[in-house]
A and B are shown apart, each in its own frame.
Chain A
Amino acid sequence: MQLIRCPWCGPREEVEFHYGGQAGVAYPADPAALSDEDWARYVFVRDNPKGRFEERWSHAAGCRRWFTAVRDTATYRFER
């Protein structure tokens, strides 16, 4: 049971958290202006690196705040 550091609550057990996928994928400013392909890229396509990955997490069973964390997908280690 890994510990994840919530920026508001400190280290808590991973079961309290909800995974939110890749961080930094902003909602397009004007979706209507995007081509179908660009929109599909936003909706469906995410990075899947081995190693360092910026992710969104939500402290779902705690303070309910979303935050961005950097995790190594090979070792599961979070950067502090």
Chain B
Amino acid sequence: MSRVDGYGRIDRTRTLTFTFDGAQYTGHPGDTLASALLANGVRRIGTSVKLDRPRGITAAWGEDPTGLVQIEEPFPEPMLLATTVDLVDGLVARGLGGRGRLAEVPDTARYDRRHTHCETLVVGAGPAGLLAARTAARRGDRVVLVDDRPAAGGALLGTERICGRDALDFVADTIAELRADPDVRILPRTTAFGHYDDGFVLALERRTDHLAEPPRNVSRQRVWRIRAGHVVVATGAHERPVVVEDNDRPGIMLAASARDLLHRYGVRVGREIVVFTTDDAAHGAAADLEAAGARVTVVDPRPGAGGSATRQAQVVGTRSDAEDGAVTAVTLDDGTVLPCDTLLLSGGWNPTAHLFSHVRGALRYDAELGAFRPGEPLDGVTVVGAANGTFDLAGCLAEGRGETPEPVARTTRVVWRTEGDPARQFVDLQRDSTVADIARAVGAGMRSVEHVKRYTTIGTAHDQGRTSGVIASGITAELLGVPVESLGTTTFRPPYTPVAFAALAGRERGRLYDPERTTALHAWHVEAGAVFEDVGQWKRARYYPRPGEDMEAAVLRECAAARTGVGILDGSTLGKIDVQGPDAGVLLDRIYTNLMSSLKPGRVRYGVMCGVDGMVIDDGTVLRLDEDRFLVYTTTGGAAPILDHLEEWLQTEWPELRVSLTSVTEQWATFPVVGPRSRDVIGAFAPHVDVSNAAFPFMSWLDTEVDGVPVRLARISFSGELAWEVSVDGWHAAAVWQRLLDLGAPYAITPYGTETMHVLRAEKGYPIIGQDTDGTVTPQDLGMDWVVSKKKPDFVGRRSFARPANLDPLRKQLVGLLPVDPDLRLPEGSQIVELTDALPPPPVPMLGHVTSSYRSAALGRTFALALVKGGHARIGERLTVPVGEALVPVEVTGSVVFDPEGTRRDGEPGVH
């Protein structure tokens, strides 16, 4: 055991048991898995990803490139850093060889999201961040302070003094002051991992992993979405090593990390320690470890550094004759071999300026530091303390208060690597990338550090090159013989640390992945055994199979009912826009291709809308409710975009029109009652209404009441059959639907779904906008010249109809296709070519494609709709549709394959 009495903030009164690589160990509350392993003398954590070399723990916190573990208990999770895993009783983990394994069982933990707003967000609760938070809070700001450690204090070890007091007491007092302020929110164990435009920061809060028995009502992790007026980046700095030969063995670690492990967890990482440094901070680490009972030799090449005991030399290599591969000796450049069990390295400090870089803050190379630090300031962002390259405590406190610190002389000597075999000098330990790899990249002609990093994969592991990135730049520059700043800088991108997809998904998984819209009748559809299809976010009943029926059988039955008896559909998802105002008719005349202002109240008209390019964007019926009021029906998918389209024209082109628009899609449930017996059903439903053709003609509507419930009846048909649409508010929808079913029972009324609706409309050649059209189809292409007004001087799209491309006789036009084999249903999307019994060599000229294809109960055969070049002129011709290996002959017909004369609209002759 290497635990030292009198050190650390762990709770030694309690003991936790855990398992690593099959062996049992103990630790204490407050430990990380890494500190507990080191306390138990476990130094080898795993092996490297490519070279299978033994690896240990290289740093004390999230910058560690090597100590990756797989957690098995309490829940399997791959690729976590032992340094950031809180030790809990019963933890089971094992070391990794660079790759983890996802859990094979579903994650039962819950993940969540919260939003918050503040004037000042401070990231990092070290001395600079604490002062910044306190300063903002005292001036009255709402403050959010996030910090990724369990407790505030940052890099403070407890040995420092602030304002004449023990530094950790100062931290505790400051936190207490902030906690007492109701406008301050402190989020420990929370990593700000992404910084975006306008003060938007994402942070991951780890809420339960450190708890022995997590409360079931608390989510495991949650993502904070923080919008801040001002972001203070106080994220500290990461120590970087000097690269030496065989620098990847267990027992080789950053000097400040060893010091951190001593003061935070009471772990002395070795007994015989060599410290190799080119920076002053490591001398403090050496002194502390010596005071804790280790024998320490400091090697520092800078003349006069560290006093007389310091050896003025460089470490050039390491050796191991230990079973676990840990370091047992180091070699100096003068040939001396120093036996040891630990080598600590320090080559200076890299400011952690990621959150500044995320928002395109430029980083500038500072040759004195040997690191990149924030350059030109950004609006709304302040970088303070070590993240800004200010490493002395007084300077950090001053910057936290918003003051400019006294300049401090720099003493770091920037040394990227010492002499040695480049193939054994590891730059990125996780990626097994060496100086030799950089030399190969440079030899292959790479000059930009971005290219070198991609070629060598340096900086692409979980740690994103926290400790290796600038060293790679430095060595590349050395190899090229150019200054580091000429290589360009690295831009850091979110996330700062790996974030689980589960946390990002939060509650939006499974059924909550995407909003579901359901109609007022949804429960009835479910009860009736409907098979649903997604139409946008709507759940629509597609068909209602009876026992033993597949979709084809169910749809044939439903179609036959609508054509010979009566069917009923839940059509409530159609978009509905209430258009009101004295100029409502003027607006609709300008929007629709046909005339709407001439429509009389009480009447209905079908209309088509085009874009300015003359292409159809939507269609539907329009009810004139009153002189200054229309109800516009859109397609289900068009509900929102068409409202936007109308608003755009109204607001940006014709603001003088006195018209208001509002969506009433959700307010009305609409049920088409369809078929030759529909008159019987509607007549029984509203016995006080005269439903004869004379009194209630096609394309008319009226409002009435049934048992005191207001309902609207409209004679609209999307099937060619006699039909009514019954509209009612959502509250009464289920009751009205049931009433219609009951009254229709004598006629075997048959609920049908969207699939039958599609077949019925396709038999009549009614296009579905977005299925039979694709944004390149005009009303004329659809054979609907009749819907394009010749009288109106202008409407949206009109001018485009006269463009030469729109008049091209070879435009693709909507036609019907009848496969010669009446049993063969063409796959939708099939290509169409000239009639042939052998395809010519490619490229085969394509004539068009199948847009809709069904089996028709009414025709007793299959049919399709298709867009075909010059299709209207090809009616009567035969063409070929390649289907897999087969060449299927089809006959081109008009798009209306059933009842082209429209004899069924007013009911079957003989019925009434």
Q: Which residue of A lies closest to B612 (CB)?
A: A43
Find out whether the CB atom of B648 lies under 8 angstroms from the CB atom of A31: no
Q: Which of B227, B647, B653 meets A58, CB within 8 Å? A: B647
Residue of A nearest to B640 (CB): A60
Complex contact A56–B652 (CB within 8 A): yes
Smallest CB separation, B22 vs chain A (Å): 46
A18 interface residue (CB < 8 Å to B): yes
Q: Mark A31-63, 1 if CB is under 8 A from B, else 0.
A: 110101001101110000000000010101000
Most buried by B among A2, A20, A56, A64: A64
Q: How far is the CA of A48 from the CA of B118 in the complex (A)?
A: 36
A9 within 8 A of B: no
With contacts A60-B644, A66-B648, A66-B651 known, is A32 near B198, CB below 8 A?
Answer: no
* Chain A minimum-CB-distance residue to B654: A27
Contact of B644 among A18, A36, A42 (CB under 8 A): A18
Report whether A58 and B644 are in contact in the complex, using a CB–CB cutoff of 8 Å. yes
| Pair A39/B648 contact, Cβ less than 8 Å | no
Is A26 in contact with B653, judged by CB distance below 8 angstroms? yes
Residue among B196, B200, B652, B800 with the most chain A CB within 10 A?
B652
| B3 at the binding interface (Cβ < 8 Å) | no
Q: Is the CB of A31 within 8 A of B798?
A: yes
Give the chain B neighbours of A43 by CB distance below 8 A. 612-613, 800
Judge whether B652 and A32 touch: CB under 8 Å.
no
Bound complex: CA A34 to CA B799 (Å): 9
Contact check: which of A11, A20, A34, A36 meets B648 at CB < 8 Å?
Answer: A20
Known: A3-B198, A43-B800. A32 touches B651 (CB 8 A): no
Docked-complex contact A1 and B653, CB < 8 angstroms = no
Chain A residues with Cβ under 8 A from B647's Cβ?
A: 58, 64, 66
CB distance from A11 to the nearest CB of B (A): 8
**Would you give the shortest CB distance from A57 to chain B, in whole angstroms?**
11
Is the pair A76, B651 in contact by a Cβ cutoff of 8 Å?
no
Whether, in the assembled complex, B845 has its beta carbon less than 8 Å from a beta carbon of chain A, the answer is no
B182-207: CB near A (< 8 Å → 1, else 0) gives 00000000000000111010000000
CA distance A18 to B648 in the complex (A): 11
Find out whether the CB atom of B653 lies under 8 angstroms from the CB atom of A36: no
B799 touches A1 (CB 8 A): no
Are B803 and A1 interface neighbours, CB within 8 A? no
B799 and A39 contact, CB distance less than 8 A: yes
Is B843 located at the chain interface by the 8 A CB criterion?
Answer: no
A66 close to B652 (CB less than 8 A):
yes
- State which of B197, B613, B652 has its C-beta within 8 Å of the C-beta of A3: B197
Contact assessment for B196 and A39 in the assembled complex, using a CB-CB cutoff below 8 Å: no
B794 interface residue (CB < 8 Å to A): yes
Is the beta-carbon distance between B794 and A32 smaller than 8 angstroms? yes
Separation of A43 and B610 alpha carbons in the complex (Å)? 13
Query: Considering only CB atoms, which chain B residue lies closest to A75 in the complex?
Result: B360
Cβ-defined contact, A31 with B794, below 8 A? yes
Q: How far is B801's CA from A36's CA once the two chains are assembled, in angstroms?
A: 11
Cα A3 to Cα B612 in complex, Å, equals: 31
Residues of B within 8 A of A11 (CB): 198
Instruction: With A27-B653, A66-B652 as known contacts, state yes or no: A32 contacts B793, CB within 8 Å.
Output: yes
Q: Does B303 belong to the interface (CB within 8 Å)? A: no
Distance A48 CA – B374 CA, assembled complex (angstroms):
33
- Which B residue sits closest to A42, measured CB to CB? B612
8 A Cβ contacts from B297-329 to A: none
Q: Would A36 and B651 count as touching, CB distance under 8 A?
A: no
A residues in contact with B196, CB < 8 Å: 1-2
Q: Known interface pairs A39-B803, A64-B647. Does A1 touch B200 (Cβ–Cβ under 8 Å)?
A: yes
State the Cβ distance, B558 to closest chain A Cβ, in Å. Answer: 37
Interface string of B651-667 (1 = CB under 8 A from A): 11100000000000000
Rounded to whole angstroms, the CA-CA distance of A1 and B612 in the bound complex is 32
Cα of A31 to Cα of B612 in the assembled complex, Å: 10
B804 at the A/B interface (Cβ < 8 Å)? yes
Closest to B200 in A: A1
Contact across chains for B799 and A31 when beta carbons are under 8 A apart: yes
| Nearest B-chain residue to A30, judged by Cβ | B794
Contact A36 B200 (CB under 8 A): no
Rounded to whole angstroms, the CA-CA distance of A11 and B769 in the bound complex is 36
Minimum CB distance partner of B655 in chain A: A66
CA distance A54 to B800 in the complex (A): 26
A2-B613 in contact (CB<8A): no
Residues of A within 8 A of B612 (CB): 27, 42-43
Instruction: Answer whether A40 and B651 are a contact pair too, CB < 8 Å, given A18-B644, A58-B644.
Output: no
Distance, CA A76 to CA B793, complexed state (A)? 41
- A31-B794, A39-B803 as given contacts; A58 in contact with B613, CB under 8 Å: no
Interface string of A2-24 (1 = CB under 8 A from B): 11000000010000001010000
Find chain B residues with CB under 8 A from A60 CB: 644
Chain B hits for A36, CB < 8 A = 802-804
Q: Tell me the smallest distance from the CB of A18 to a CB of chain B, in Å.
A: 6
Give the residues in chain B near A28, CB-CB below 8 Å: 799
A31 surroundings in chain B (CB, below 8 A): 794, 798-799
| Contact bitstring B599-626, A, C-beta under 8 A = 1, else 0 | 0000000000000110000000000000
In the complex, how many angstroms separate the beta carbon of A79 from the nearest chain B beta carbon? 14
**Residue of B with least CB distance to A68:** B652
Interfacial chain A residues near B613, Cβ < 8 Å: 43-44
A36-B804, A40-B803 are contacts. A1–B798 as well, Cβ < 8 Å? no
In the bound assembly, the distance between CA atoms of A28 and B647 in angstroms comes to 18
Per the bound structure, the CA–CA distance linking A58 and B798 in Å amounts to 25
CA distance in complex: A43, B652 (Å): 16
How far, in Å, is A55 (CB) from chain B's closest CB?
12
Which residue of chain B is the closest to A33 with respect to CB atoms? Answer: B799
Q: How long is the Cα–Cα vector from A49 to B48 in the complex, in angstroms?
A: 50
Q: How far is the CA of A20 from the CA of B799 in the complex (A)?
A: 21
- B227 partner residues in chain A, CB cutoff 8 A: 3
Q: Which of B205-237 contact A (CB under 8 A)?
A: 227
Closest to B360 in A: A75
| Chain A residues, Cβ within 8 Å of B804 | 36
Q: A42: which B residues are within 8 A, CB to CB? A: 612
On whether the beta carbons of B644 and A1 are closer than 8 Å, the reply is: no
Known: A1-B196, A3-B197, A32-B799. A65 touches B648 (CB 8 A): no
Q: Mark B109-134, 1 if CB is under 8 A from A, else 0.
A: 00000000000000000000000000
Contacts of A56 in B (CB 8 A): 652
B197 contact from A2, A20, A39, Cβ within 8 A:
A2
Alpha-carbon distance between A21 and B117 when the two chains are bound, in angstroms: 31
**CA–CA, A56 and B196, complex, Å:** 23
Q: Which of B197, B227, B793, B802 has the most CB of A within 10 A?
A: B197
- State the CA gap A61–B794 with chains docked (Å): 31
Residues of A within 8 A of B800 (CB): 39, 43
B467 to chain A minimum Cβ distance, whole angstroms, is: 31
The closest CB in chain B to the CB of A67 belongs to: B651
Bound-complex Cα distance A53 to B200 (A): 24
Across-interface contacts of B652 in A (CB, < 8 A): 20, 56, 66
Residues of chain A contacted by B200 (CB below 8 angstroms): 1, 3
Residues of A within 8 A of B798 (CB): 31-32
Report Cα–Cα, A29/B395, bound state, in Å: 66
Q: Are A58 and B803 in contact (CB under 8 A)?
A: no
Q: Give me 23 A-to-B residue pairs in the complex whose CB atoms sit less than 8 angstroms apart, sorted by A's number.
A: A1-B197, A2-B198, A3-B198, A3-B227, A11-B198, A20-B652, A30-B794, A31-B798, A31-B799, A32-B794, A32-B798, A32-B799, A36-B802, A36-B804, A39-B799, A39-B803, A40-B803, A42-B612, A43-B612, A43-B613, A64-B647, A66-B647, A66-B648
Residues of A near any B CB (own CB < 8 A): 1-3, 11, 18, 20, 26-28, 30-32, 34, 36, 39-40, 42-44, 56, 58, 60, 64-66, 76
Given contacts A3-B227, A32-B793, 10 further A-B pairs with CB under 8 A are: A20-B648, A27-B653, A31-B794, A32-B794, A32-B799, A32-B802, A36-B803, A36-B804, A64-B644, A66-B652
Q: Which 3 A-B pairs have the closest CB atoms?
A: A31-B799, A2-B197, A3-B198
